[in-house]
Amino acid sequence: MVIVVHGGAGRVAPELEEAVLEGVAAARDRGWRVLAGGGSAVEAAVAAVAYLEDHPLFNAGTGSALNRQGFVEADAAVMDGATLGFGGVAGVRDVKNPIRLAREVLDAEPVLLAGEGASLFARERGIPAYDPAALVTERALERWREARRRKVRGSGTVGAVALDARGRLAAATSTGGLVDKPVGRVGDTPLVGAGTYAEAGLGAASATGEGEYLARALVAFRAVAGLAELGPEAAARRALERARTLGGEGGLILLATDGRFAAVHTSPQMSHAWRSPKGEGAALS
Ligand code: GLY
C-alpha cells in the first residue's frame, strides 16, 4: 500500500511553510487510514483530497483561487486505474467538496460534467448546495486582488495517488484553477490524462501547475505511459519537460504499480507527503 499527496506547485510564503507541511501530512494520514482499513485506492485518494479541499490554505474547495469576477469555479477528477473509469467535474460553483462529486460521476455514465449540469447531478446524488460565498476565504481574496494589481496568475492544486492492498491504483486531483482566470475556463485537472490519470499495470499521476500547458502536454498520461520504460522520477521529469517546452511550469506526483513513486516539479516549489510500508514523510522542495 502507498499513498502520496501534493499540495500544489508554486511558492509558499515562509510563514506558511509549517502549516502547509502539516496539511499535506494530515491529508496523507487520512488516505492511509482508508488503505489500512482495507479501503480502495479510489476511496483513499478521494479522502486525502477532500481533507485538503476543507483546509483553507490550499487552492481547492474552501480557499480556492477566485476567477475574474471574484468567485470560485472548481475542477476535480478521480480515476480508477483498475477499470479506467474516470469521473470529472468542471466549473462547479456550489459544492463544498468537488472531489466527492467527481467520485459520484465515476459511478455514472458521463466522464465529465460541467457547470449547471454538475450542480444538478450533485443534487440528484444527495450532495447539498453549498453557499458559494463560504468557499471564499480572506486569503484567496487577498491573492486575487494582488494578482489583478500585478497581472500575475498564481496556481496551485491538490492531488493524491494511491495503491491499495489489492494492487489497485487511483489518482485524484482538485483545484480552484488559476487566480483571476476567465469565467468558464477549465484547466488540466478534470481532463483525462491531462491533470489526472491512472492505469493498471503502469501507474497513477496527479499534476499541478499551469493548466493550459499541462493539458496540451497530457502530462499525467505522458508520465504514467513513461513508466513502461523509465523509473518514476525520470518519467515524471520527462513529462514535465514536455510542458516546459510549451511554456508552462508545474509538478507531478507519480506512483508506479510496484510501489515506487516520485514527486517532481519545474515550478519553484511543491509540497507533498507520502506513506508506504517503508516509511512516511512530508516535504516542501
Ligand atoms: N493546474 C490547475 C489549473 O491550471 O487549473
Range 140-161 average pLDDT: 87
* pLDDT more than 70, % of the chain: 99
**What pLDDT is recorded for position 35?**
98
Asked if pLDDT for residue 153 goes beyond 90, the answer is: no
Q: Which grid coordinates belong to 203?
A: 501507474
Contacts of 245 (CB under 8 A, 6+ apart): none
Which CATH number does the domain housing residue 74 bear? Answer: 3.60.20.30
User: Which residue in the list 157, 175, 257, 266 is annotated as catalytic?
Assistant: 157
Ligand 1 probe mutation, 188, 216, 270, most atoms within 8 A of CB: 188
Quick: pLDDT tens for 39-67: 999 999 999 999 999 999 999 999 999 99
| Residue 219 host element (H or E) | helix 219-226
Return left, alpha or beta for 72; rule: phi > 0 is left, psi -120 to 50 is alpha, else beta. beta
Asked if pLDDT for residue 156 goes beyond 90, the answer is: no
Q: For residue 120, report the phi and psi dihedrals to the nearest 5 degrees.
A: -60, -45
Which pTM was predicted? Answer: 0.98
Quick one: which atom of ligand 1 is closest to the CA of 187?
Answer: 5
Asked if pLDDT for residue 105 goes beyond 70, the answer is: yes
Quick one: which atom of ligand 1 is closest to the CA of 208?
Answer: 1
Name the least confident of 10-19, 115-124, 211-220.
Answer: 10-19
Euclidean distance between CA atoms 183 and 67, whole angstroms: 6
**What pLDDT is recorded for position 273?**
98
**What pLDDT is recorded for position 202?**
98
Range 111-138 average pLDDT: 98
| Residue 272 host element (H or E) | strand 270-276
Using pLDDT thresholds of 50, 70 and 90, give the confidence band for residue 11. Answer: confident
Q: Which grid coordinates belong to 48?
A: 486525502
Is-catalytic flag, 157? yes
Ligand 1 proximal residues by C-beta, below 6 Å = 155, 157, 175, 177-178, 187-189, 195, 208-211, 214
Quick: pLDDT tens for 14-28: 999 999 999 999 999
Range of the domain at 246: 2-284
Number of separate domains in the chain:
1
Residue with CA at minimum distance from ligand 1 atom 4: 211
Euclidean distance between CA atoms 211 and 175, whole angstroms: 10
Quick: pLDDT tens for 160-216: 999 999 999 999 999 999 999 999 999 999 999 999 999 999 999 999 999 999 999
